[in-house]
Amino acid sequence: MDVILAAVGDAFTWQALLAIVIGTWAGIIIGGLPGLGSVVGLTIFLPFTFGMDVITSMALLIGVYCGSVYGGSITAILINTPGTPQSAATVFDGYPMTQQGRVDEALGWATFASFFGGVLSCVLLIFCAPQLAKFAVNFGSIEVFALVCLAMLCIVGISRGSLLKGLVCGMMGFFFSMVGSDPITGADRFTFGTYALSSGLDLIPVVVGAFALSEVFVRFSARDEEATTIPEARLRFPSLREIGRRLVELLRGSFIGSFVGALPGTGAAAAAFISYAAAQKLSPRRANLGKGEPDGIIASESSNNAVTGSAFIPTLALGIPGDVVTAMMMGAMVIHGITPGVRLMADQAQTVYTLFVVLIIVNVAMLILSKPSIGLFRYLFKLPLGFVMGGIVMFSFIGAVSVRGNPLDLVVAALTGILAYVLRRSGYPLAPLVIGMVLGPALESSLRRGLLISRGDFLSFFTHSGIATTLFVLIGLFLIWTIVGGVIEWRAKVIRTRREASSAQPASEQGIMHDHH
């Protein structure tokens, strides 16, 4: 208890609180600018921490990290452009709500779900970090493969009415993820002899092109005024009654994000899609998902923000960073004298608990700063449409090239934008393309490593462990449920069509047929 009280005292110094406010607000703005995001934000602020003490520097970086993950949802809802890849799933229901004039409700749910998921993951981090770290170790390549396969099935759910087109886009995204070096052998694939392609296609240029640039093309080519205007954005938090109705969705998304975040090598984008796939089967309002249903926003935002806390579990307890962002955070810790690993809790318990408290304060600061941040975006979007769209294009290209410094990413973003515009005009959904791109690397690498472990015997995947068997059973149930539901829906449609044809038949013809009989 003395350690926890000392940690609270360290976290509530004026230096740490000032760093939290600056970092969180800057993170929200950076996350909301298309193409930038967590990695760019941490890269910008990391040099400023070298003259700070440990707690203040980590408070600044944690604020940027958590704020940027939430900030991506603002533009995802307002202009169909996720500021970060972590918010790609928020587009599915956030932007339809904006088109329906429910932008205030959408922003309110995104903000509250982000806060809820972030705080719950912090609580789990404080009380369950050692246990979750031990359980996460049980997830080897085969278990991760089964988990990613389960997430990939959400392509079926978001491709209703155009399943074939959705599968085509999903395979297209999976192909994009295979460009570059083979994850096992290191051999170049689909590079066409171009050295610049040997490092592969980065996710951010593809997401920027698919959503931001294609949205710009669509808005400028649209003839109706509604499609070429940006809505007046305000923030309306859900009432206690509304929260109570959707509490199960908030808890499910937060627990999924907390669990997936504790697995090394997954990340917030994968957690959002896994949570959205779960909502497609478990939400009582699942029929409305993809059409402007708050449950879709809750599933995405509660899970991706829950990852911000649970991602520190493998980083702190095992010294294994879960993704690029936590790798940068781990590097900053080492620079400031914190050595992640199994001895960290024993050797530097007060520092660890201080970081936990800082995480909770950051999520509270994010909730408070959400309103002025959205007000800033509202002011920016009052500018003439041409200036707004021009700014989106500029920041999209800056974000596309700033992560790796590879000029080819500019070309990738532009070509993906053109391709996405053509796909949208042809009725192809873009979400499966991004899902394939996000989950493709994890799916391929875990499959290849699993085959090495099993010596090429794929059937042994199903009995490799209890976790793997359970996940594969869930996949089978999902497929059976989908097929049976599709057949029932098809039969109902046929019966309805026959009844409509029968009722539309002229009364005279019906009389003639009756006399004939």
CB–CB of 166/154 below 8 Å? Answer: no
HEC secondary structure over 126-184: HHHHHHHHHHHHCCCHHHHHHHHHHHHCHHHHCCCCCHHHHHHHHHHHHHHHHCEECCC
Query: Helices 14-32 and 38-45: crossing angle, nearest 10°?
Result: 140
For residue 385, give Cα distances in angstroms to 37, 230, 390.
23, 8, 8
CB–CB of 246/295 below 8 Å? Answer: yes
Q: Is 82 left (phi over 0), alpha (psi -120 to 50) or beta?
A: beta
Query: Measuring CA to CA, which residue among 359, 416, 439 is closest to residue 174?
Result: 439
The alpha-helical segments, DSSP class H, found in 229-293 are: 240-245, 247-261, 268-282
Which residues in 420-444 are b (16+ Cβ under 10 Å) and which e? bbebbeeebbbbbbbbbbbbbbbbb
Which pLDDT score, from 0 to 100, does residue 345 have?
Answer: 65
d(CA 73, CA 80): 9
For residue 51, give Cα distances in angstroms to 45, 58, 61, 315, 358.
12, 12, 14, 23, 19
Query: Measuring CA to CA, which residue among 440, 386, 393 is closest to residue 418?
Result: 393
Consecutive 10-residue runs of the chain (517 residues): their mean pLDDT?
A: 74 87 88 71 74 83 87 82 78 85 87 89 74 66 80 66 78 86 79 78 78 76 53 77 89 86 70 83 82 87 84 69 67 73 67 84 89 78 71 75 76 88 83 77 84 84 83 82 73 74 60 51
Which pLDDT score, from 0 to 100, does residue 190 have?
Answer: 82
Confirm whether pTM is higher than 0.85. Answer: no
d(CA 130, CA 345): 9
d(CA 390, CA 244): 42
Query: Measuring CA to CA, which residue among 308, 372, 394, 407 is closest to residue 38?
Result: 308
CB–CB of 110/297 below 8 Å? Answer: yes
Which pLDDT score, from 0 to 100, does residue 96 have?
Answer: 87
d(CA 98, CA 86): 19
Domain ranges of the chain: 2-457, 465-517
